[in-house]
Copies of this chain bind each other. A is one copy, B any other.
Amino acid sequence: MKQQSIGSRPQWNKTRVSSQLGIEYPIIQGPLGGLSTQRLTAAVSNFGGLGSFGAHGWSPSAIRDVISEIRALTTKPFAINLWVSMEGEGARTSGSEAFARSLAPLAEHIQALGGTLPPYRPYVSIKFEDQVRALLDAKVPAFSFIYGIPPKEILDECRAQGILTMGTATTPDEAIVLEQAGVDVIAASGFEAGGHNGREETTSMILIPAVSAAVKIPVIAAGGIATGRQMLAAMVLGAEGVQMGSRFVASVEASAHPDFKEKVIQSVEGDTVLTMKQLTPVRMMKNDFYRQVQEAEWKGAAIEELKALLGRARAKKGMFEGELDEGELEIGQSSVLLHRILPAGEIVKKVWNEFCEGLSSPVKML
Contacts and interface: CB of A to CB of B under 8 A. Distances in A.
Contact of A233 (B4, B237, B300, B365): B237
Interface of A: 1, 4, 6-8, 10-12, 14-16, 19, 98-99, 101-102, 105, 109, 171-173, 190-192, 198, 200-207, 209-210, 223-225, 227, 229-230, 232-238, 240, 268-271, 273-274, 286, 291, 294-295, 298-300, 333-334, 336-337, 358-359, 362-366
Given A233-B236, A269-B98, A15 B365 contact: yes
A322 B227 CA distance: 43
Given A4-B12, A232-B236, A233-B237, A269 B366 contact: no
How many copies altogether? 2
Contact of A203 (B19, B192, B359): B192
A171 B105 contact: no
Contacts of A171: 269-270
Contact of A270 (B99, B192, B298): B99
Contacts of A240: 363-364
B366 A336 contact: no
Question: What 10 pairs between A and B have smallest CB-CB spacing?
Answer: A7-B7, A98-B270, A200-B270, A6-B6, A233-B233, A203-B203, A205-B224, A233-B236, A235-B363, A4-B10
B237 A230 contact: yes
Contact of A8 (B7, B16, B173, B190): B7
